[in-house]
Amino acid sequence: MDSAHAGHSRTNMKHAFSIITSCTYQCSLQFDSCDKQRHFGKEIPKRAAPYPVIKNAIFAVASRQMSLLAGNQDDESPHYVSECLRILIRALEDPMGHFDENLLAAVILLRTHEEMSENDERRHLFGTTRILNSIASFAADGGLRESASWVSLRQHIYISLTSQHPLTINLTNYRHSSVFRISDDESWANRIIFIFAQLLTYVFGDDHEQQLSLEQWTELDAEVTSWEASKPWHFAPLFIESPGVSALDSSNRGPWPELYVCNPAQVVGLQHYYLAKVVLAIYDPRLSKLSFGSLRLRRDSESMVRECLRMVVGLAVSNDHVQTAMFQASHILSACGMYLNNRDEQEAAVNFLEQMTRRMGWQTSHIIRDLREQWQS
């Protein structure tokens, strides 16, 4: 090998290493918010070299994100996606095949790549559903397996919430997870995520026409309330400031409450609590019954939705180093942003979504377009 070729090879290897470390760091910010051991940030870089399916998935996500942030055409990521799919399809089509955490992690990364698209076709949800539902122990195995199963659940929650389609993951498998035996912040956050997933399963069930019964609604509401009452005392925000005046700068007035929280798991956990309150308020079965108190009940419900929506976005804005929180706020604005009836809040929501695109490459133009149409109607 001549020196020029060797130098070129070293440059390529250095560039590849840079991509892997940068991408896994960014993914860790998003995926490890409810994982005390930070399995994605620590394990995925180690597995990139021995497992081509993970390496190609990382390159696909990195290429897509870099092109979006630079405003360039994404010409590279389709190649890496194809290479990754070639391995995955062969594994998924083999009836005797062994599904492991490397395949699940790769599909989660491909799903992330897919989420960055303006037109999210959700093709890779099938892969994670197939793997998770085939191996019941994934959510209770510990390590990367268990961590990845919870990340995948959050990805499925996003689709269910924004599309109003039922979850395709078997939640029974999650009941054996260690999060129900451990009392650290990450476990408490995952518990309310699980409760929220249960709630979505009821309201977006296979029989979409079947209304949630008052008994079911009351039980779900009690479970959400119980989590809030039982959560550790330090889950409470360190500081709360009502909308209008910033605690840090009295001249900086904004429509969102300021809520400063200790760590990412607490931010995400509190967000899912308020997300659950939003869904419970919208799907309260009492709203469908005509009575003299119907108008007041509906007004109270819409007021609750707006109040909790502000809290979700406020948690994201106040703790904007928590990427997962930013995504959750984007999801609820996509699903329920039409409830915002204050002009300042509407414009602040648009500014928040535009900032997500600039900072993370997250495509929000379609959300903004839909919201503007809903606000004007």
Region 262-276 average pLDDT:
97
User: What does the alpha-carbon distance between residue 76 and residue 177 come to, in Å, rounded to a whole number?
Assistant: 38
- Tell me what pLDDT residue 303 has: 96
For the segment 300-347, what is each residue's pLDDT rounded down to a tens digit? 999 999 999 999 999 999 999 999 999 999 999 999 999 999 999 999
Does the pLDDT of residue 152 top 50, yes or no?
yes
- Tell me what pLDDT residue 119 has: 66
Within 164-256, residue ranges assigned H as helices are: 185-203, 214-230
Domain boundaries, the chain: 26-158, 182-377
- Tell me what pLDDT residue 11 has: 43
Least confidently predicted of 13-22, 93-102, 327-336 = 13-22
User: What does the alpha-carbon distance between residue 66 and residue 73 come to, in Å, rounded to a whole number?
Assistant: 10
Does the pLDDT of residue 260 top 90, yes or no?
yes
- Tell me what pLDDT residue 128 has: 64
Please give the share of the chain, as a percent, with pLDDT higher than 70: 85
- Tell me what pLDDT residue 10 has: 42
Q: Which of 165, 79, 91 is nearest to 134 (CA)?
A: 91
Residue 240 DSSP one-character state: E
Q: What are phi and psi of 259, to 5 degrees?
A: -135, 105
Average pLDDT, the chain: 85
Q: Which of 324, 323, 368, 318 is nearest to 346 (CA)?
A: 368
Residues in Cβ contact with 307 at an 8 Å cutoff, skipping those fewer than 6 apart: none
Banded pLDDT at 136 (limits 50, 70, 90)? low
